[in-house]
Homo-oligomer: A and B are copies of this chain.
Amino acid sequence: MSQEAIPPGTLDMLILQTLFRGGRLHGFEIAEAIQERSEDVLRVEEGSLYPALQRLLLQGWIAGEWGKTEENRRARYYKITRAGHTQLERELSRYRRVSNAIGRILQPV
């Protein structure tokens, strides 16, 4: 089944939401979670994921710390911050607003 790219402007929201739901995850797990919950429709490339995580760190919306996976590999674990949660709410409401607006344009008569 053909996978789709993440629509520009939604990646940060999807990462924040995934961390909000998932608690403490490293990069790979975040990408996997997005792919799985989308039922394989969406796929996050690593070249999009890691720069996005850096942006979110820099904004203070997520916090990260180095650790080890169960398979004993180094990995950076992230969790969403209080400010990140506020930001998530902002992005969610903006997304819904736009989404509904597009829906009104698309809906027949």
Q: Please list the residues of chain A having a beta carbon within 8 angstroms of any beta carbon in chain B.
A: 4, 7-10, 13-14, 17-18, 21, 34, 37-39, 41-42, 92, 94-95, 97-102, 104-106, 109
Chain B residues within an 8 Å CB radius of A4: 94, 97-98, 101
A21: chain B residues within 8 A (beta carbon): 109
- Once the chains bind, are B7 and A38 in contact (CB under 8 Å)? no
Question: For A17, what are the chain B residues with a Cβ–Cβ distance below 8 Å?
Answer: 105-106
Enumerate the 4 nearest inter-chain pairs by beta-carbon distance, A residue then B residue, closest first.
A41-B101, A38-B101, A8-B8, A37-B105
Distance of A71 Cα from B100 Cα, bound (Å): 34
Looking at the complex, which one of B10, B37, B97, B101 makes contact with A104 (CB distance below 8 Å)? B37
A42 touching B102, Cβ below 8 Å? yes
For the complex, what is the distance from the CA of A66 to the CA of B89, rounded to whole Å?
47
| A-B contact sample (6 more), CB < 8 A, given A7-B98, A38-B104 | A7-B7, A7-B102, A8-B8, A8-B9, A34-B105, A99-B99
